[in-house]
Structure 1
Amino acid sequence: MKLGVFAVLFANKPFEEALDYIAAKGLEAVEIGTGGYPGNAHCNPDVLLADAGKLKAFKQAVESRGLTISALSAHANPLHPQQALAAPDDEVIRKTIELANRLEVPVVNTFSGCPGDHEGAKYPNWPVAPWPNDYQEILKWQWEEKVIPYWTEVGGIAEKSGVKIGLELHGGFSVHSPSTLLRLREAVGNVIGANLDPSHMWWQGIDPVQAVNILGRAGAIHHFHAKDTSIDPVNINHHGVTDMQSYTMMLDRAWQFRTVGFGHDMKTWADIISALRLVGYDYVVSIEHEDGLMSVDEGFSKAVQNLQQVLIREPLGEMWWV
């Protein structure tokens, strides 16, 4: 396995300065935002696709520092019911796939998106209860008319480009759990897989180790984010897991994102890393920092320190004792 980082953390730094900082921390990989929610401060697909010289220089800037690009990330909602919002998100995903092909990056990370509840809808609708039965009807319509058709088309483009799609399992989007990821993968094909982030499993009540086992046995983990979550034992009973309070309301929220090791102990993280190795995932563990109690530099540095303790780097080799 290699340790990497989602470099949008350092969007305020010039690209090469950010790479120098990342390499100095001993990391081996970077995940780079290309638009959508992460922005494109370091990587504008329009610029790189239009200029072969700039594309070459971009790739050289990464490789000259001993780094690889683990994924290009365009987290967005291409299924938003307002076409004015969906169209640019769809466009950046397609351009990111083309750019990944040119850069020989194997994975494009994004969200599945979430449609509305009918053709004339204005806002996304995320059904999370089977009753009243209206929600079942909405869910059926969304998947049959929007989710599966869209990803069948875009998945086909990615497959022809030699690129895998890593969908982040995230609340608020149609694909948010192991079962919904596998449902879409069954409909579209193996080009669809997870960008698995334990933090989003914990707040939904899903054990990340079991999520790794479920998805890993299906060969459905394309990329992995390292981010933690803490659950407040009092507030969770007040607000439930679907707490709608702003992330800034940290004292009152049911749960909040933390840097690695500050939501769950290192034995838990060692179990996650071991589960990844067990199911054959030996790719990049990409740090994502969204900890409201720590600066970017401190949260990132502590995540690096903690993960260095449990990351399994070397090839397995033979079991000499067998």
Structure 2
Amino acid sequence: MKLGVFTVLFSDKNLEDMLDHVAAKGIEAVEIGTGGYPGDAHCKVDELLADEQKQMDFMEKITSRGLIVSALSCHSNPLHPQKKIAEEADTLFTKTVKLANKLGIPVVNTFSGCPGDHEDAIHPNWPVAPWPNDFQDILKWQWEEKIIPYWKEKAAFAESHNVKIGLELHGGFSVHTPATLLRLREACGPAIGANLDPSHMWWQGIDPVESIKILGRENAIHHFHAKDTIIDQPNVNRNGLIDMTSYSDMQNRAWYFRTVGFGHDSKEWIDMLSTLRLYGYDYVVSIEHEDGLMSIDEGFTKAVSTLKPIMVKESVGDMWWA
């Protein structure tokens, strides 16, 4: 496995300075945003698609520092009921897949998106209760009319470009659990997989190790984020886990994000890394830092110091003891 970082953290730095900074910390891989929610500070898709020399220069800057690109990321909502928003997200995803193909990058990360509840909706509708039955009707319509048709087409497109799609299992989007990811994968094919982020498992009450087993059995983990979460039980008792309290109001939230090691200890991260390896994932663990209690650089540095000693680097070879 390689230790990586989602470079949106360092959008204030230019590409070269960012690469120097993360390489100096011992990072081996970078996940780079191409637009959407992550922004495009380090990767201008249109410029690179139009110029092969710029593509070569871009990759040389990365590889010359001993780094790889684990994924291009364009998190957004391509199923948004407002056509302009959906079309912008769809265009960005399509361009990102094309660029990943040209650069030899195997994964594009994004969100599944979330539709509205009918054709003339204005806002996404994320059903989270099976009753009253209206919610079941909405969910059925979303999956049959929007989610599966869209991603079936995109999975075929990605596969034709030798790219895998890593969908981040994130609240507010239609694919947010192992079950919903596997439902989409079954309908659309193996190009669809997870960009698995344990922080979003914890707050949904899902054991990340078990989520790795569920998805790993189906070879459905295409990328892995490293971000932590803390559960504030007294606030859970008041708000529940589906908590609409602002992220900035951390004292009153049921849960909030922490840097790696500050929500769960090293043993839990060791268990996750071991289970990833057990189920055949031998790729990148990409640090994502959204900790409201410490600066970007401090949170990033602490995540590196937690993960670096426990990364498993070498293959077993023969079992000499058996």
In structure 2, C-alpha distance between the alignment counterparts of 1:215 and 1:119, rounded to whole Å: 32
In structure 1, C-alpha distance between the alignment counterparts of 2:22 and 2:164, rounded to whole Å: 25
In structure 2, C-alpha distance between the alignment counterparts of 1:300 and 1:139, rounded to whole Å: 38
The reply to whether residue 145 of structure 1 matches residue 145 of structure 2 is yes
Question: What secondary structure is seen at the aligned counterpart in 2 of 1:21?
Answer: helix
In structure 1, C-alpha distance between the alignment counterparts of 2:14 and 2:173, rounded to whole Å: 32
Amino acid at match of 1:71: A
Match of 2:93 in 1: 93
In structure 2, C-alpha distance between the alignment counterparts of 1:310 and 1:126, rounded to whole Å: 37
Give the drift of 1:262.
0.3
Q: Over residues 42-83 of structure 1, what are the superposed CA-to-partner deviations in whole Å (9 max), with x where a residue is unaligned?
A: 101111001111111001000000000000000010000000
Q: Over residues 105-140 of structure 1, what are the superposed CA-to-partner deviations in whole Å (9 max), with x where a residue is unaligned?
A: 000000000000000000000001100000000000
In structure 2, C-alpha distance between the alignment counterparts of 1:310 and 1:136, rounded to whole Å: 43
Match of 1:21 in 2: 21
Q: Over residues 6-37 of structure 1, what are the superposed CA-to-partner deviations in whole Å (9 max), with x where a residue is unaligned?
A: 01100100100000001111111000000110
Question: What secondary structure is seen at the aligned counterpart in 1 of 2:36?
Answer: coil
In structure 1, C-alpha distance between the alignment counterparts of 2:310 and 2:147, rounded to whole Å: 37
In structure 1, C-alpha distance between the alignment counterparts of 2:83 and 2:316, rounded to whole Å: 49
* Residue correspondence of structure 1 range 133-282 to structure 2 within 5 A: 133-282=133-282
Question: What 5-or-longer segments of structure 2 have no aligned partner?
Answer: none
In structure 2, C-alpha distance between the alignment counterparts of 1:91 and 1:262, rounded to whole Å: 38
Give the drift of 1:319.
1.2
In structure 2, C-alpha distance between the alignment counterparts of 1:175 and 1:137, rounded to whole Å: 17
In structure 2, C-alpha distance between the alignment counterparts of 1:259 and 1:309, rounded to whole Å: 16
In structure 2, C-alpha distance between the alignment counterparts of 1:207 and 1:316, rounded to whole Å: 27
Aligned-residue Cα RMSD (Å) equals 0.5
Q: Over residues 215-248 of structure 1, what are the superposed CA-to-partner deviations in whole Å (9 max), with x where a residue is unaligned?
A: 0010000000000000001101111111101100
Amino acid at match of 1:127: P
TM-score by length of 1: 0.99
Count of matched residue pairs? 322
Amino acid at match of 2:105: V
Q: Over residues 131-166 of structure 1, what are the superposed CA-to-partner deviations in whole Å (9 max), with x where a residue is unaligned?
A: 000000000000000000000111111000000000
In structure 1, C-alpha distance between the alignment counterparts of 2:44 and 2:90, rounded to whole Å: 15
* Residue correspondence of structure 1 range 15-164 to structure 2 within 5 A: 15-164=15-164
Q: Among the aligned pairs, what percent are the same residue? A: 68
In structure 1, C-alpha distance between the alignment counterparts of 2:316 and 2:4, rounded to whole Å: 20
Match of 2:305 in 1: 305
In structure 2, C-alpha distance between the alignment counterparts of 1:182 and 1:119, rounded to whole Å: 26
Question: What secondary structure is seen at the aligned counterpart in 2 of 1:204?
Answer: coil
Q: Over residues 80-102 of structure 1, what are the superposed CA-to-partner deviations in whole Å (9 max), with x where a residue is unaligned?
A: 00001111011000000000000
In structure 2, C-alpha distance between the alignment counterparts of 1:315 and 1:59, rounded to whole Å: 27
TM-score by length of 2: 0.99
Amino acid at match of 2:237: N
**After TM superposition, where is structure 1 displaced by more than 2 Å over at least 4 residues in a row?**
none
In structure 2, C-alpha distance between the alignment counterparts of 1:154 and 1:104, rounded to whole Å: 18
Give the drift of 1:307.
0.3
In structure 1, C-alpha distance between the alignment counterparts of 2:139 and 2:16, rounded to whole Å: 45
Give the drift of 1:309.
2.1
In structure 2, C-alpha distance between the alignment counterparts of 1:303 and 1:172, rounded to whole Å: 26
In structure 1, C-alpha distance between the alignment counterparts of 2:125 and 2:113, rounded to whole Å: 11
Q: Over residues 267-293 of structure 1, what are the superposed CA-to-partner deviations in whole Å (9 max), with x where a residue is unaligned?
A: 111100111010010100000000000
In structure 2, C-alpha distance between the alignment counterparts of 1:263 and 1:128, rounded to whole Å: 25
